[in-house]
A = this chain, B = another copy of it.
Amino acid sequence: MLTLYSYWRSSAAYRVRIALNLKGLVYRQVPVHLVKDGGQQHAAEYRALNPQELVPLLVDAGSGAGEARIAQSLAILEYLEEVFPVPALLPADPVQRAQVRALGLHIACDIHPLNNLRVLQYLSGQLGASDEAKNAWYRHWVDTGLAAVEEGLAAFAGRLSLGERPGYLEACLIPQVYNARRFDCDLTAYPRILEMVARCESLEAFRNAAPEVQPDAQ
């Protein structure tokens, strides 16, 4: 049995929900509220499961080695790919796999961590940044990052990362665009991204992973 510790608005958790859905895997969700109670991810009970104090966390009770606890969304995606290889999230060719991972990692390393909740809280709190300065920071990293992703998508020539199917790349991209829209970022300069997002948003795996339809959505 697969259990996902998740928060509806966490875009890292959103990536994993998409991947689980694309693979047709059944999972239950345990909500971890990132704001309430000073952040439930910092509670002793959750820290015992995941010392990183972040969501998502996947617990696989059926792994060969007993109950496996896996943190970090991209480690979870690789784990799912290795343990449940069909349908694949990554292309078969090593160079294409690397190109897809490089775009996903660009989102996961160079856009998202700069804009997640704990960082925005530090900017407002310890650094005393105004809302205006905080929003400018947010948009700066979104723009810098998505401009590079837009160029990277040229290699796919209007197709999805697995040809007619989405996978690892789209599981990273769609949550990032969801975040960008939440903060009113202007995305008109990124037509390839918008086209890829539009194609994915019509698919059930993505619709069922969307923040608004999660059990803990508010």
Q: Chain A, 21-44, contact with B by CB distance < 8 Å: what is the 0/1 string?
A: 000000000000000000000000
Contacts known (A51-B148, A63-B95); A101 close to B119, Cβ less than 8 A = no
Contacts known (A109-B72, A113-B114); A53 close to B148, Cβ less than 8 A = yes
Consensus secondary structure, chain A interface: helix
A residues contacting the other copy or chain, number (CB 8 A):
49
Q: In the complex, which of the residues A98, A101, A105, A106 has the most CB atoms of chain B within 10 Å of its own CB atom?
A: A98
So how many copies of this chain end up in the complex? 2
Ordered by A's residue number, 17 sampled pairs between the chains whose C-beta atoms are within 8 Å are A51-B151, A52-B148, A52-B152, A54-B110, A64-B93, A70-B99, A71-B106, A72-B101, A74-B101, A75-B101, A76-B98, A78-B101, A109-B112, A113-B114, A123-B127, A127-B127, A127-B137
